[in-house]
Amino acid sequence: MLDSMEFDDGLDDDPSSFRSPPPPDDRLWRHPTEVLRPKRSVGERLWLVASISGMVGALLATGLVAIAGGFDRGGTERVVERQEVPIQTVSSPSGQSVEDIAQRVRPAITQILVEGKQGDSSGSGVIFRSDGYVLTNFHVIDGADGVKVVCDNGTERTGQVIGSDPDSDVAVVKIDGGPYPVASLGSAAGLRVGQSAIAIGSPLGLAGGPSVTVGVVSALHRRLDTKSGPPLLDMIQTDAPISPGSSGGALLDAGGAVIGLTTAVATADGAQGLGFATPIDVARSSAEQLIADGRVVHVWLGIEGTDVDPQTAQDMAIDGGALVGRVVDGSPAQKGGLQVRDVIVGVDGQPVKTMGALVVALRTRRPGSAVSLNVRRGKDEKRMTVTLIERPANP
């Protein structure tokens, strides 16, 4: 084709001026025709086409909306709104090597296969008791007619859903047999932004055991307003890559202790992923109640409200708080003396800066617990004692 085209490139076109290039082994470069490419089988090519088509379709369908951690097969994915893109930091965990942590923890990470009326799906789970109790997300097993748990060694077990809690997005699945290897549960209470984080899960329903990714804790106390179910509160944000199918997996600290359940991932323009994990303290509390009683009991204060706005906070000389917009008749809040326009700034001496923080502070309490509230009413500060009760079916 080039023989029929004429153009002047400003170079000497005398054939005698051209030299043959040296042999490939004597060069630092290769022409594409000199690079051997292994031929793919028909099945591999079809798989690649299907995968790429699925990715493109997902991007076109979601735009700037984030997709969460469950993998395909049933619409059980948690969807979160787009969050701001964090500064990406590349770091290696201190303490033990990632390799050592992965070898120790991977046997406790499972793949969860779900069969349901809406289709099949897959997620991840964390074995936290040697007698076969597995932590995962509620949205992974939501609507399940049947559950299979695939262990790290490839063994497949039938799973029984012990219970689930949509508010915390936590569920517990039981498998027979054992003893099983378990993951050590730590705490998210002392986390600091920038510290190392390791994510282990079973993305994309792939066989061959869990995957390991490394990053940092990017932010704390995130609130995620989801398109299905209640908002997720007090979430850990990480830049450790979390792929669909990793929901219910483990987020670890540099020592290999579980600090969160990987729950959701948001994307910005389909490029950068923000991962979010449920603090393990919340997940463990919910799991213990599910095992003991089959349900999670939530306490009730009996108010509705929002975050205090910056101008009001400035006028009241406070850093933030939960502004009371409504007090339910006969509720613990009314009996304790709370009024509309009060601003709750502390619970049992611990500061509260948002309505979400108030919910989180009360989440670990039990019905019958008496809590001390620090309240600003105008420029006056009051301390009130309120006895919490179980949240009614229609609060």
Q: Is 225 in the same domain as 93?
A: yes
- Domain-embedded: residue 39: no
141 with 260: CB under 8 angstroms?
no
Q: Is 370 in the same domain as 350?
A: yes
Q: Is 312 in the same domain as 189?
A: no
Q: Is 336 in the same domain as 273?
A: no
DSSP for 9-43, please give it: -SS---GGG--PPPPGGG-S---GGGS--PPPPHH
Residue 283: helix, strand or coil by DSSP? helix
Closest CA to 321 of 332, 330, 312: 312
Q: Is 165 in the same domain as 231?
A: yes
Higher pLDDT, 19 or 89: 19
Q: Is 142 in the same domain as 242?
A: yes
Range of the domain at 283: 64-294
Domain CATH for 319:
2.30.42.10
Q: Is 359 in the same domain as 220?
A: no
Q: Is 262 in the same domain as 331?
A: no
Q: How confident is the model at residue 226 (pLDDT cuts 50, 70, 90)?
A: confident
Q: How confident is the model at residue 288 (pLDDT cuts 50, 70, 90)?
A: very high
Domain CATH for 111:
2.40.10.120
Q: How confident is the model at residue 68 (pLDDT cuts 50, 70, 90)?
A: very low
- Domain-embedded: residue 75: yes
Q: How confident is the model at residue 57 (pLDDT cuts 50, 70, 90)?
A: very low
What Cα–Cα distance (Å) separates residue 208 from each residue in 34, 114, 151? 34, 18, 10
Closest CA to 174 of 216, 222, 128, 117: 128
Q: Is 191 in the same domain as 283?
A: yes
Select from 235, 270, 294 the last residue of a domain: 294
Q: Is 185 in the same domain as 285?
A: yes
Total number of domains constituting the chain = 2
Range name among 50-59, 97-106, 135-144, 223-232 with the lowest pLDDT average: 50-59
Q: Is 306 in the same domain as 384?
A: yes
- Domain-embedded: residue 55: no
Q: What are the residue numbers of the active site?
A: 139, 169, 247
